[in-house]
A and B are shown apart, each in its own frame.
Chain A
């Protein structure tokens, strides 16, 4: 479903050029649960952003669902993000003035999903992520774990092809982090593709498949045999 070939990403920092990604080749099939690990500055977030079409490679080719998305215009990228990609961020990125329900709805609102259809999906999402009691609360009235659940529900609202989670537990305590991971893993169980960036080996180790990156290159690609849910 995702196919990266010879991806290069170079940042300019003043006079220096920093090679954030060096000839990265990667294939991800639908339904995979994959974690990308590595020290900070290893290029794991850059890789995630490229896959999420928030960034462009300097060289290489990126295919998403058999379609070359490397050279899309800004608007086309936005459309692909809207239809196929769900983001989960470390700092939740909820809109503070909107309620939990409105935050979850936001991608559907932007995509112009029909209100009746929208209400139905919202109802299901609230039930699925145990947020019904919190639907009318604003983010500042929610706990960190609830915020991240809202963020995951929002990411799922457009039924994306892939969920990209960048340190989703990085801003949560251990216990709440575990809960959030369980939610993400349920997405995977239900057939979703989940890409997880983390520097926490315990979290990363739960995935089916683990990439290790150092200095912009993938140095190892391991698949666990038993579905990777050993942690729970």
Chain B
């Protein structure tokens, strides 16, 4: 039997029961649409989160004090963590491939200007903070390269703070009080929006040494290390560790490359996407059961036709293939409809809820279609085998 004849024959047997065929295909369509829609949302979420984190650049390593390890019988062990100092940050600039390092401490402080006061997130940073985290200054400039241990009392405002305190006025050059000390404003940051609930615009930046004094802290919270984008991460990490161990005498710090964090996020989000796809797959299985049911009925109804085909020379294999072909075609049609449905709904969601990240990669679509045909074939195996194994004589007699 030629492929064209084969396709024609299965096609006519499906079109002879239009309603039944469409309803069965609908079962598969709903399953595929569910898979497409849920994975689209999962993938959209994935991209959204990754984009949120890569806005700080990916060639970034963060050094934090303390070591994240699991201790066994360390009860009563003396805490030997040495504070992370500004000098550590300066020392790290000597590591190979490192472009910029920036010490950082963060806390809350009250900012007062012309009788208005506001509690903001205060960042004590070096001059290279904006560069390390790819943040841009809207007007003025970022903190200057002063001696970090005796920096001048200068401040840079986040866009929201500038708006709230100064309204339409130009804040550059104005003086305000931060935690009781007077600071002169040298710059205003570009709006960066929120990330995981942190408002990056409701912030004020001052030199890190002053912030440490203000918060009465000994240790920095983080040192950001920006390295050449093409540099091997492992070497950068090793270099940082070598310098830090030499200074601290032990590895009492943690080095977290942004890339590793992204990998972790990626893994988590992939698992999430997979989980929602699995939920969608349940409806696909139900669709498969629909095909199984309809095909079982079709074999029973067409027993005498099967008998005839066998009598005029169809082999068991030919009968098997005919019914498998019907199952596959049914599922393929349903799958295509489901793709259109899923895509349509995803597009509509995008229009109605622009905040919801939705993204359908085309290879998901191909995969979904392949899965649909696979489900159809799997569902078709039992009825098709039953059809092929019918005794031709008995099949002919059933009328």
Among B37-45, B227-235, B304-312, the stretch in contact with A: B304-312
Beyond A54-B392, A74-B316, 7 additional pairs, beta carbon < 8 A: A78-B313, A78-B315, A82-B313, A87-B312, A95-B308, A98-B12, A109-B1
Interface contact A87-B311, CB-CB below 8 Å: yes
Flag whether A209 is at the interface (Cβ < 8 A).
no
Contact status of A110 and B318, CB under 8 A, knowing A54-B311, A87-B311? yes
In the assembled complex, the CB of B12 is this many whole angstroms from the nearest CB of chain A, namely 5
Q: Which residues of A contact B393 (CB under 8 A)?
A: 49, 54-55
CA distance A224 to B307 in the complex (A): 35
Q: Which residues of A contact B12 (CB under 8 A)?
A: 97-98, 102
In the assembled complex, the CB of B299 is this many whole angstroms from the nearest CB of chain A, namely 15
CA distance A112 to B5 in the complex (A): 9
Q: Which residues of A contact B315 (CB under 8 A)?
A: 74-75, 78-79
Looking at chain A's contact residues, is the secondary structure mostly helix, strand, loop, or mixed? helix
Contact status of A75 and B316, CB under 8 A, knowing A81-B311, A97-B12, A110-B1? yes
Q: Which 10 A-B pairs have the closest CB atoms?
A: A82-B313, A97-B16, A93-B308, A107-B312, A78-B315, A109-B5, A54-B393, A81-B313, A75-B315, A87-B311
Flag whether B399 is at the interface (Cβ < 8 A).
yes
Interface contact A83-B313, CB-CB below 8 Å: yes
Flag whether A72 is at the interface (Cβ < 8 A).
no
Contact status of A78 and B396, CB under 8 A, knowing A95-B305, A97-B13, A98-B12? no
**Among candidates A55, A75, A83, residue contacting B317 with C-beta atoms closer than 8 Å:** A75
Q: Which single residue of chain B is at the shortest CB-CB distance from A102?
A: B12
- What are the interface flags for B80-100 relative to A under an 8 Å C-beta threshold, 1 for contact and 0 otherwise? 000000000000000000000
A residues 76-133 touching B (CB-CB < 8 Å):
78-79, 81-83, 87, 89, 91, 93, 95-98, 102, 106-107, 109-112, 115
CA distance A112 to B2 in the complex (A): 6
In the assembled complex, the CB of B3 is this many whole angstroms from the nearest CB of chain A, namely 10
Flag whether B264 is at the interface (Cβ < 8 A).
no
Contact status of A91 and B313, CB under 8 A, knowing A97-B16, A109-B9? no
Interface contact A91-B1, CB-CB below 8 Å: no
- 11 A-B residue pairs with Cβ-Cβ distance under 8 Å, sorted by A, are A49-B393, A78-B315, A81-B312, A82-B312, A83-B313, A89-B308, A89-B396, A93-B311, A110-B1, A110-B313, A112-B2
Interface contact A110-B309, CB-CB below 8 Å: yes
Q: Which residues of A contact B392 (CB under 8 A)?
A: 54
CA distance A79 to B311 in the complex (A): 10
Interface contact A52-B311, CB-CB below 8 Å: yes
Interface contact A78-B314, CB-CB below 8 Å: yes
Q: Which residues of A contact B9 (CB under 8 A)?
A: 109
Q: Which residues of A contact B399 (CB under 8 A)?
A: 91
Flag whether A206 is at the interface (Cβ < 8 A).
no
A residues 50-64 touching B (CB-CB < 8 Å):
52, 54-55
Q: Which residues of A contact B309 (CB under 8 A)?
A: 106, 110
CA distance A52 to B307 in the complex (A): 13
Q: Which residues of A contact B316 (CB under 8 A)?
A: 74-75, 78
Contact status of A54 and B13, CB under 8 A, knowing A78-B313, A83-B313? no
- What are the interface flags for B2-17 relative to A under an 8 Å C-beta threshold, 1 for contact and 0 otherwise? 1001000100110010
Q: Which of B310, B311, B312, B314 has the most CB of A within 10 A?
A: B312
CA distance A188 to B78 in the complex (A): 111
**Among candidates B16, B307, B308, B313, residue contacting A79 with C-beta atoms closer than 8 Å:** B313
B residues 294-330 touching A (CB-CB < 8 Å):
304-305, 307-318
B residues 174-205 touching A (CB-CB < 8 Å):
none
CA distance A186 to B315 in the complex (A): 31
CA distance A74 to B320 in the complex (A): 14
Q: Which residues of A contact B13 (CB under 8 A)?
A: 97
CA distance A99 to B305 in the complex (A): 14
CA distance A55 to B391 in the complex (A): 9
Q: Which single residue of chain A is at the shortest CB-CB distance from B310?
A: A78
Flag whether A154 is at the interface (Cβ < 8 A).
yes
Q: Which single residue of chain A is at the shortest CB-CB distance from B5?
A: A109
Q: Which single residue of chain A is at the shortest CB-CB distance from B2?
A: A112
CA distance A78 to B308 in the complex (A): 11
Interface contact A110-B312, CB-CB below 8 Å: yes
In the assembled complex, the CB of A107 is this many whole angstroms from the nearest CB of chain B, namely 4
Q: Which residues of A contact B5 (CB under 8 A)?
A: 109, 112
In the assembled complex, the CB of B384 is this many whole angstroms from the nearest CB of chain A, namely 16
In the assembled complex, the CB of A50 is this many whole angstroms from the nearest CB of chain B, namely 10
Q: Which of B2, B311, B315 has the most CB of A within 10 A?
A: B311
CA distance A107 to B308 in the complex (A): 10
CA distance A56 to B84 in the complex (A): 92
CA distance A154 to B396 in the complex (A): 16
Interface contact A93-B396, CB-CB below 8 Å: yes
Q: Which residues of A contact B307 (CB under 8 A)?
A: 93
CA distance A81 to B311 in the complex (A): 7
In the assembled complex, the CB of A13 is this many whole angstroms from the nearest CB of chain B, namely 14
In the assembled complex, the CB of B356 is this many whole angstroms from the nearest CB of chain A, namely 46
In the assembled complex, the CB of B399 is this many whole angstroms from the nearest CB of chain A, namely 6
Q: Which single residue of chain A is at the shortest CB-CB distance from B316?
A: A74
CA distance A78 to B314 in the complex (A): 6
